[in-house]
A and B are shown apart, each in its own frame.
Chain A
Amino acid sequence: MIWDLLIAPFADFGFMRRALLGCVAVSVGATPVGVFLMLRNMSLTGDAMAHAILPGAAIGYLVSGLSLGAMTIGGLIAGMVVALASGFVARVTSMREDASLAAFYLISLALGVLIVSTKGSNVDLMHVLFGTVLALDNAALILLCSFASLSVFALAVLFRPLVLECADPQFLRSVSKLSAITHFAFLALVVMNLVGGFHALGTLMAVGIMILPAAAARFWASGIAGLIAVAALIAVLSSIIGLLLSFHYSLPSGPAIILVAGVGYCLSLIFGPVGGAIAQSLPRRTYET
């Protein structure tokens, strides 16, 4: 019974195993980035970036069809251009970075939708928006795993400046010239993870696996290491449960995974020991450490 429910889908079907590997890679790569997005109060930046990569992927599709490489490179370029342009505008004009990012991602999104709808069919649009986690080929899997590894490695290297950039940016600027580099490298990681994620979950759902587990983790851990570990765990569990639900009930897998993560967030909100609804309402003892 339990075997049929939990193990058999993965044991019997290759596409389920591939989907699982793809989702685990995306989870491990994207959630630490999501934790930092949340800590920098930039949760919605992930969303904006996801929209920004659409025209790049669309142009890649126009140039060479449903090609993994072309769509990946297109998405990376579009994301980087929007990130750099909005960062640049924020630094040389009086425009704040969030407003400038909003302006550029909206332009980028409109361009993307225009390209996809004039040249592509609806099926293609659905592919870009919602991903094809059940049809990941070897090349896509290698890409997802490489992006995840690269992301985790880059984050480990950048960790200290990034923490300081979040916690005390003024101090970082006073002791080091790494502030701008750290900021753009971090945005590059966001873009990279979203591009990787869109092959599996689509541009819109890729943000979900980045942000929802991070937001949920906030109710379980208070240190950065704990946040990252819990967020990655929630993302992986959501992937497994979401894939199983989509298998047994014939649901689209991307939204199923994100919805499970969403349920995880709501449960954390209620039951989480760190500032969750129940923990907040219980009388607490104060103690010295």
Chain B
Amino acid sequence: MTATLSFEKLTLGYDRLPAVQQLNTEIAQGSLTAVVGPNGAGKSTLLKGVTGALTPIEGCVTINGFCEKDIAYLPQQSSIDKSFPMSVIDLVAMGLWREMGAFGRLSRAMKSRVSDALAAVGLTGFENRAIGSLSGGQMQRALFARLLLQDAKLVLLDEPFTAIDAKTMADLIKVIKNWHAEGRTVLAVLHDYDMVGTHFPETLMLARELVAHGPTAQVLTAENQFRARQMCEACAGVPHVCGKAAA
């Protein structure tokens, strides 16, 4: 198995306060990996580091075999202004940005792909609804449809199932499993260990530093969870300043 992502001595943080420290591991191509860990463990920070939105304080993220444009990223709190007068189909069609760019037109073939994506997430019939009228679950479905159209090799999901009903969750997990079957690499930050155990073959447990990474059954042990909590509590009070000044 070749690695899609490799982290070398990766340290990421804000204002020189590290949120992820000295991470060394690799994400295999086509793997379906859950990123878990206590609050403040640096899970979201890790995803931001992969998208390039955050520059490493130390070390690096290496992406093999494709460029940054092949990454689709669903942030935990999307920046969408729901009051903006935009229809569902307009929002979802923006997933085709890479193909049509800022000025290209939406061809007939593209329109039918948009319809397919909407159908895949169960939003057929919602095309012309204003995004402001969608419920939380429907909005998440729409964002998954947009991810589908991005046709990315690496999909990053940050807590995609927070405050989502069970039916929506089940439908969206199907979408994720389809990506996995198509050979795409998926990295999802999750907190529901039952779901991780059932649906995600690989798990990466973080507590600022790497706790464990490997097959889910071996990572999600009571011992590891206990260790992760302890590591986070231990460093929560004393932020280590790092960077050039401290080096």
Name A residues whose Cβ lies closer than 8 Å to a Cβ of B: 39, 157-158, 160-161, 163-164, 166-171, 173-176, 178, 222-224, 227, 289
Contact = CB atoms under 8 A, between A and B. Distances in A.
B79 A171 contact: yes
A174 B102 contact: no
Main secondary structure of the interface of A (DSSP, over half): helix
A168 B81 contact: yes
A175 B67 CA distance: 12
Nearest to B96: A175
B111 interface: no
A157 B103 contact: yes
B238 to A, nearest CB: 24
Contacts of B53: 173-174
A181 B11 CA distance: 31
| Residue with the highest number of chain B CB atoms closer than 10 Å, among A157, A158, A171, A224 | A171
Nearest to A221: B85
Given A167-B86, A168-B80, A171-B80, 4 more contacts: A158-B102, A160-B102, A168-B91, A169-B79
Nearest to B132: A222
Contacts of B79: 168-171
Contacts of B84: 39, 163, 166-167
B129 to A, nearest CB: 6
A175 B97 contact: yes
A2 B81 CA distance: 47
A219 to B, nearest CB: 13
Interface in B77-134: 78-81, 84-87, 90-91, 94, 97-98, 101-103, 128-131
B75 A223 contact: no
B227 interface: no
B75 A161 contact: no
A167 B73 contact: no
B51 interface: yes
Nearest to A170: B79
9 contacts: A164-B97, A167-B84, A167-B131, A170-B78, A171-B80, A174-B53, A174-B71, A176-B97, A224-B86
A157 B103 CA distance: 7
Given A224-B85, A289-B128, A289-B129, A175 B78 contact: no
Contacts of B87: 223
Given A174-B51, A223-B85, A289-B128, A167 B91 contact: yes
B174 interface: no
A183 to B, nearest CB: 14
Contacts of B91: 167-168
B98 A175 contact: yes
A171 B90 CA distance: 13
B112 to A, nearest CB: 20
B75 A170 contact: yes
| Residue with the highest number of chain A CB atoms closer than 10 Å, among B81, B85, B128 | B85
A167 B81 CA distance: 5
B69 interface: yes
Nearest to A218: B85
B85 A171 contact: no
Given A160-B102, A170-B78, A227 B85 contact: yes
A168 B93 CA distance: 13
Nearest to B81: A167
B213 to A, nearest CB: 25
Contact of B102 (A161, A170, A222, A227): A161
A163 B86 contact: yes
